[in-house]
Amino acid sequence: MRKAGLIMSLMMLVSVSAVADDLKPYRFDSMQMNLGALFFDRADRMKPAKSDFKVNRSVAMSNDDGHRAVILSLENLSSGRRILEPEQLMVIYADGTALRVNALPEKILLEGYEKRNFTLELGVNDYPVVAVVAANNEGY
């Protein structure tokens, strides 16, 4: 019985180790674009939901498997406390596709006029991230 438990523990350790080896680290995407110059011709003209947030800066990252993430510098423009909802952010990819964010890593609450940085995982996409915007960003 004890031997079986030891074997099971060893197998679990090996499987966890194998999964960890499959996750490739992110690297910063080298080219950063100026959002003011990027007005893709999109028929849908989808916009992020109205909010009191502004994305001051986004730094795109990716790995060899096409997983995308961004480090966001977010600002609450209101004097009151605000909770960020996923639909208040929109990701623009290099092919012109614009998608609303569908999930956040955790509940993000910002006090009045607070600025905060956090990492947002975006999943797999063939195209690099050009920008992440909120309703208060230029052009949106």
Q: Establish if 100 belongs to a structural domain.
A: yes
Q: Establish if 49 belongs to a structural domain.
A: yes
Domain count, the chain: 1
Segment 86-105 mean pLDDT: 92
**What was the pLDDT predicted at 15?**
42
pLDDT at 54 over 50: yes
Q: Establish if 1 belongs to a structural domain.
A: no
Q: Establish if 8 belongs to a structural domain.
A: no
pLDDT at 4 over 80: no
Which residue, among 129, 94, 102, 93, has the nearest Cα to 48 in the 3D structure? 102
Q: Establish if 14 belongs to a structural domain.
A: no
Q: Establish if 5 belongs to a structural domain.
A: no
Q: Establish if 138 belongs to a structural domain.
A: no
Domain that holds residue 54: 24-133
Q: Establish if 87 belongs to a structural domain.
A: yes
Segment 26-34 mean pLDDT: 78
Question: The domain spanning residue 73 has which CATH number?
Answer: 2.60.40
Q: By CB neighbour count within 10 A (0-12 exposed, 13-18 middle, 19+ buried), where does 107 fall?
A: exposed
Pairing of strands 90-93, 115-124: unpaired
Task: State how far the Cα of 99 lies from the Cα of 91, in Å rounded to an integer.
Answer: 5
Which residue, among 48, 45, 37, 44, has the nearest Cα to 134 in the 3D structure? 48
Q: Which residue has the higher pLDDT, 27 or 140?
A: 27
Share the mean pLDDT of the chain.
83
**What was the pLDDT predicted at 138?**
80
**What was the pLDDT predicted at 139?**
73
